[in-house]
Amino acid sequence: MKTGIDAISFDVANIHLPIKTLAIARNIEPEKLEKGLGLLKMTFPDVHQDAVVFGANALTKLIIDNKINLIEISRIYVGTESGIDSSKPIASYLINLMEQKFGEDALAECDVVDFTFACIGGVDALQNCLDFVKLNPAKKAIVVTTDFAKYDLNSGGEYTQGAGAVAMLITSDPKIIAFDDNWATSTKGVFDFFKPYRTISKEAITQNANNDSWFDNLEAEIEIHKDQPVFDGQYSNQCYMDRTRNAYFSFKKLKNTAETLYNTWNSIIMHLPYSFQGRRMLSEIYALDSSEKIIADDFAPADYQNKIKEVGKSDEYRKFVTEKLQPAELASSLIGNLYTGSIFMGLLSTLAHFYDTKKEISGTKFGFLAYGSGSKSKVFEGTIQPEWQSALAKTKLFENLEESTEIEFETYESLHKKELKQSVRAPKNEWVLDRIEKEIPTLVGARYYKWVD
């Protein structure tokens, strides 16, 4: 029996800053961001949007577009690293909103939970739901990945920001992609990127202006959880490379194959914190998994990185990137980082590209290389199913991304500092954050959302 993704939908922030505008304001060469990292636009949440809003919108679209009967859904598992609460999961908010829209008690027996492991939490949720459906083939599950990839102003991560969600229906006999049973994992506990609770003075919060006004009543020194991570960019790249390489070669062992694995994949879907991360990180695996290219015996360890760089710049590798990686990069260039959703947006981007260019990919294999800081990689593969095109007909990814509204640099900065009070784009047919409770002691901090027609 096959298990996999039967339907997919998304919701991304529909306002953006051209990356060139940010580059000029920050005194960075635009070519570095555009040609070096593959960035074109950076999406950013509007005043009424947060991770719950994106997740709820993607989920609502999935339900409506695919006429899902909610009684059939046994699980809604959320991958996120943008939790708005240390106790109440985003999944609990989603249940409430879906019941508001589709009827009280529609999900009363549905199991819901959040999975958090940086950017790989959505893949963990997927793997769990696949196992569940394998055991219960008549049942269905939904995976929602939702995040706001927010970095400090002027930081090295600022130009990789983005926001949005991807939702997927997981069933037996899926229409889009069926996953194989082999999954390889590589794990190591490191501090490459994390979001710790930090003790911070009230003064510092006010200077940062990144606070909500209800902090005003707190003591001078408080412990807060910031949306923005503490990170070491180059070290996080090294961890990404080390984990994905180890998981890739474990996967080869699991499959017990001497064949160059990536040659068996029509497309390669990787976690893309920015568009060109995959192509910059994969050259090592590309070089190592083919005896003709290099293998450690051919050169001293000191030559190793140079040799990898050389391979990465070769025409052969460029051709490989264009064929196998570029379709996944297209949406990332126009959106930015989606954290848990990035790998699934890469899948959607690839499918939408082949759909728009009318390429038949049914029966081909896709390879997946997932990564989450902290750190963990999972490598797995799936086969595209005969009905993938009909399942994708309503998604219209690139048409939707074209409708994004450009914002000025000043608007971006005031959104980042939470100074803007009125939405840039009036909401329509979507969930919005209505208010945060500030008065009632037993509800302080509770977030309330509403649907806007």
User: Does residue 310 come out as left (phi exceeding 0), alpha (psi in the -120 to 50 range) or beta?
Assistant: alpha
Q: With respect to ligand ACO, which residue has the nearer C-beta, 13 or 107?
A: 13
**Residues 6+ away with beta carbon under 8 Å from 116:** 79, 80, 81, 83
What is the smallest separation between the CB atom of 271 and ligand ACO, expressed in angstroms?
A: 6
**Residues 6+ away with beta carbon under 8 Å from 75:** 110, 111, 112, 129, 132, 139, 141, 142
Q: With respect to ligand ACO, which residue has the nearer C-beta, 37 or 113?
A: 37
CA atoms within 13 A on the CB side of 239: 20
**Residues 6+ away with beta carbon under 8 Å from 125:** 77, 78, 79, 115, 143, 145
Question: Which range binds ligand ACO by CB under 6 A, 19-27, 99-107, 178-186, 230-238?
Answer: 230-238
What is the smallest separation between the CB atom of 243 and ligand ACO, expressed in angstroms?
A: 10
| Residue 318 touches ligand ACO, criterion: CB under 6 A | no
| Residue 31 touches ligand ACO, criterion: CB under 6 A | yes
**Residues 6+ away with beta carbon under 8 Å from 414:** 420
Contact 365, 269 (CB under 8 A): no
What is the smallest separation between the CB atom of 362 and ligand ACO, expressed in angstroms?
A: 31
Q: Cβ atoms within 10 A of the Cβ of 156, count?
A: 12
Question: Which range binds ligand ACO by CB under 6 A, 28-36, 67-75, 139-147, 284-292?
Answer: 28-36
What is the smallest separation between the CB atom of 49 and ligand ACO, expressed in angstroms?
A: 21
Q: Both tokens of residue 171?
A: 């069933």
Question: Which range binds ligand ACO by CB under 6 A, 174-182, 272-280, 287-295, 326-334?
Answer: 272-280
| Residue 386 touches ligand ACO, criterion: CB under 6 A | no
Distance of CA 451 to the CA centre of its chain: 24
**Residues 6+ away with beta carbon under 8 Å from 217:** none
Answer for which of 4, 38, 55, 157 binds ligand ACO (CB under 6 A) is: 157
Question: Which range binds ligand ACO by CB under 6 A, 90-98, 231-239, 244-252, 428-436?
Answer: 231-239
**Residues 6+ away with beta carbon under 8 Å from 429:** 452, 453
| Residue 18 touches ligand ACO, criterion: CB under 6 A | no
What is the smallest separation between the CB atom of 347 and ligand ACO, expressed in angstroms?
A: 17
| Residue 321 touches ligand ACO, criterion: CB under 6 A | no
Answer for which of 100, 237, 246, 260 binds ligand ACO (CB under 6 A) is: 237
What is the smallest separation between the CB atom of 236 and ligand ACO, expressed in angstroms?
A: 4
| Residue 243 touches ligand ACO, criterion: CB under 6 A | no
Site string for ligand ACO, 42-81 (x = CB under 6 A): ----------------------------------------
| Residue 341 touches ligand ACO, criterion: CB under 6 A | no
Tell me which residues in 169-198 interact with ligand ACO (CB under 6 A): 193
Rounded distance between C-alpha atoms, residue 266 and residue 68, angstroms = 31
Q: Both tokens of residue 416?
A: 């980042």
Question: Which range binds ligand ACO by CB under 6 A, 57-65, 135-143, 211-219, 274-282?
Answer: 274-282
Strands 111-115 and 73-79: parallel
Tell me which residues in 107-136 interact with ligand ACO (CB under 6 A): 119
Question: Which range binds ligand ACO by CB under 6 A, 18-26, 35-43, 246-254, 292-300?
Answer: 35-43
Rounded distance between C-alpha atoms, residue 416 and residue 414, angstroms = 5
Rounded distance between C-alpha atoms, residue 15 and residue 205, angstroms = 26
Total residues contacting ligand ACO by CB under 6 A comes to 22
| Residue 38 touches ligand ACO, criterion: CB under 6 A | no
Q: Quick one: angle between helices 315-324 and 277-288, nearest 10?
A: 120
Question: Which range binds ligand ACO by CB under 6 A, 27-35, 244-252, 296-304, 431-439?
Answer: 27-35
- The closest alpha carbon to 47, from 440, 452, 419, belongs to 419
Q: With respect to ligand ACO, which residue has the nearer C-beta, 63 or 321?
A: 321
Question: Which range binds ligand ACO by CB under 6 A, 107-115, 271-279, 377-385, 443-451?
Answer: 271-279
Site string for ligand ACO, 342-381 (x = CB under 6 A): -------------------------------x--------
Q: Both tokens of residue 452?
A: 């806007």
Burial of 420 per CB tally in 10 Å (0-12, 13-18, 19+): middle
Contact 112, 77 (CB under 8 A): yes
Strands 376-384 and 184-187: antiparallel
Binding site for ligand ACO (CB under 6 A): 29, 31-32, 35-37, 119, 156-157, 160, 193, 231, 233-234, 236-237, 240, 273-274, 277, 280, 373
